[in-house]
Amino acid sequence: MTTVSLLVALALAACTNAKDVLEPSAITPPASSAQPLPPTQSTSSAATSPTTTAPAPSTAPSTAVAPATPRTPAQTAALAKTRLQVAPIVGASVDAAAPLTAELQTRAKQRGLTLVGSTDQTATHVLKGYFSTMSEGKDTTVIYVWDIYDPSGNRLHRINGQQKAPSVGSGEGWPTVAPATMQAIADQTIDQFAAWLGTGGAG
């Protein structure tokens, strides 16, 4: 009898444990604790919950508002009245500077900026660039600094950064820098310049 009663007791204990695991209240804590973990179950549950609940639409409007924010009448007017003069590039080879200056003109037109020649007396801003390269294995990094001056020669702002890309051909230095690398720098420069103008051109 004692053996039978022990078996019955173990069977009942197993049933209650299985019941506890199948309870929704018992399933919820593991699901929440599994969110930071990489398993696919937590990813699928995270994917289904935004679909069925309302938070998903709230993220869509926020991303839609972001691109429209920088386009204000004041910023558009600031870009329209700006006449940017690009000084001769310091440190870069002629071959590397050619795609850079060409892309500066293209990007400026897209942004509503006007570029003027070196002898134009109507420039509102002067952009002076200083460039250097650093070779690292099969990659070449272009380091750049842009100083923005007013017509009187007072420095107003500085833009700096670096662009790393696979080297072209053999050797090192400017011959290994692809035109696309310099074009990317030109795009970033005009974008940052326009963003700075949009904040009032201070600092």
What are 100's two structure tokens?
Answer: 């850079």
Are residue 104 and residue 40 in the same domain, yes or no? no
pLDDT of residue 95: 96
Are residue 88 and residue 52 in the same domain, yes or no? no
Decide if 73 is inside a domain.
no
**Residuewise pLDDT in 10s, the chain (203 residues):** 555 454 444 444 444 444 444 343 333 343 333 333 333 343 333 333 344 444 444 433 333 333 434 457 777 888 889 999 999 999 999 999 999 999 999 999 999 999 999 899 999 999 999 999 999 999 999 999 999 999 999 999 999 999 999 999 888 999 999 999 999 999 999 999 999 998 877 55
Q: What angle do CA 160, 165, 170 make, to 5 degrees?
A: 125
pLDDT of residue 192: 96
Which residues are CB-neighbours of 149 under 8 A, at least 6 positions away? 125, 126, 128, 155, 156
Q: What angle do CA 103, 95, 110 make, to 5 degrees?
A: 5
Number of domains within the chain: 3
Which residues are CB-neighbours of 172 under 8 A, at least 6 positions away? 133, 135, 140
In this structure, the strands spanning 114-116 and 83-86 are parallel
Place of tokens 């790393």: 164
User: Cα–Cα distance between 65 and 16 in angstroms, integer?
Assistant: 53
Decide if 56 is inside a domain.
yes
pLDDT of residue 174: 97
Are residue 183 and residue 128 in the same domain, yes or no? yes
Are residue 9 and residue 62 in the same domain, yes or no? no
Place of tokens 């209240």: 25
**What are φ and ψ of residue 91, in 5° steps?**
100, -25
- Give this prediction's pTM: 0.64
Are residue 17 and residue 62 in the same domain, yes or no? no
DSSP state of 173: S
pLDDT of residue 79: 86
DSSP, collapsed to helix, strand or coil, labels residue 180 as helix
Alpha-helical segments (H) within the chain: 2-22, 24-33, 40-52, 55-68, 73-81, 94-111, 179-198
pLDDT of residue 146: 98
Rg of the chain taking only CA atoms, in angstroms:
30
pLDDT of residue 140: 97
pLDDT of residue 77: 81
Task: Give residue 196's identity as a one-letter amino acid code.
Answer: W
Domain that holds residue 51: 34-66
pLDDT of residue 72: 73
Are residue 135 and residue 93 in the same domain, yes or no? yes
Decide if 71 is inside a domain.
no
Paired with 162 in beta bridges are 143
